[in-house]
A and B are shown apart, each in its own frame.
Chain A
Amino acid sequence: MGTTQPNATTPAGPPRGCPASDFRFLVDLIEPGSRVLDLGCGDGDLLAELIRRKQVHAEGVELSEACIQACVAQGLTNIHHGDLDEGLGDRADQSVDYVLLTNTLQVLHRPRPLLEEMARVGKQCVITLPNFAHWSARLQLGLLGRMPKNRRLPYEWYDTPNIHLTTLADFRDLGARAGLLIRREIPLRTGPDGQARRVRFLPNLRAEAVIFVLEKARR
Chain B
Amino acid sequence: MDKTATFPADSVGLVTTQFYTFAEPPQELALALESGRSLGPITLAYETYGQLNEARDNAVLVLHALSGDAHVAGYHTPEDRAPGWWDVLIGPGKALDTNRYFVICSNVIGGCQGSTGPGSINPATGEPYGLTFPVVTIRDMVNAQRALVDYLGIEVLYAVVGGSMGGMQVLEWAISYPERVRLALPLATTARLSPQAIAFDEVGRQAIMADPDWRGGNYYGRTLPVQGLSIARMIGHITYLSDASMHQKFGRRLQDKAEYGYDFVTDFQVESYLRHQGGSFVKRFDANSYLYISKAMDYFDPAREAGSLAAAFAPARAKFLVVSFSSDWLFPPYQSREIVKALRRNDREVVYTEIASDYGHDAFLLEAEQLGRLVSGFLASGDTGD
Contacts and interface: CB of A to CB of B under 8 A. Distances in A.
B77 to A, nearest CB: 35
A24 interface: no
Contact of B355 (A65, A71, A78, A90): A65
B380 A75 contact: yes
Contact of B351 (A1, A77, A82, A91): A77
A181 interface: no
A178 B357 CA distance: 38
B356 A80 contact: no
Interface of A: 1, 7-9, 65, 68-69, 71-73, 75-82, 89-91
B380 A80 contact: no
Contacts of A1: 373, 376-377, 380
B341 interface: yes
22 contacts: A1-B376, A7-B356, A9-B356, A65-B355, A65-B356, A72-B373, A72-B374, A72-B377, A72-B381, A73-B373, A73-B377, A77-B319, A77-B351, A77-B378, A77-B381, A78-B349, A80-B350, A80-B351, A81-B352, A81-B353, A89-B341, A90-B341
Nearest to B324: A81
Contacts of A82: 352
B370 interface: yes
Nearest to A10: B356
Nearest to A73: B377
Contacts, number: 60
A96 B138 CA distance: 36
The 4 A-B pairs with the shortest beta carbon distances in the complex, nearest first, are A72-B377, A9-B356, A73-B377, A78-B349
B340 interface: yes
Interface in B298-335: 319, 321
A79 B351 contact: yes
B381 A75 contact: yes
Contacts of A78: 349-351
B354 interface: yes
A118 B378 CA distance: 28
Interface string B244-265: 0000000000000000000000
B287 to A, nearest CB: 39
A71 to B, nearest CB: 8
A19 B351 CA distance: 24
A76 B374 CA distance: 11
Contacts of B354: 65, 81
A70 to B, nearest CB: 9
Nearest to A70: B377
Contacts of A69: 353, 370, 373-374, 377
A91 B340 CA distance: 12
A82 B337 CA distance: 10
A79 B356 CA distance: 17
A72 B382 CA distance: 11
A1 B353 CA distance: 17
Interface in B339-361: 340-341, 344-345, 349-356
A73 B370 CA distance: 12
Contacts of B373: 1, 69, 72-73
B289 to A, nearest CB: 35
Given A75-B381, A77-B381, A90-B341, 17 more contacts: A1-B376, A7-B356, A8-B356, A9-B356, A65-B353, A65-B356, A68-B351, A69-B353, A69-B374, A72-B373, A72-B381, A73-B377, A77-B350, A79-B351, A80-B350, A90-B344, A91-B344
A80 B381 contact: no
A7 B353 CA distance: 14
Contacts of A9: 356
A72 B378 contact: yes
Interface in B139-163: none
B124 to A, nearest CB: 48
Contacts of B380: 1, 73, 75
Nearest to A74: B377
Contacts of A89: 341
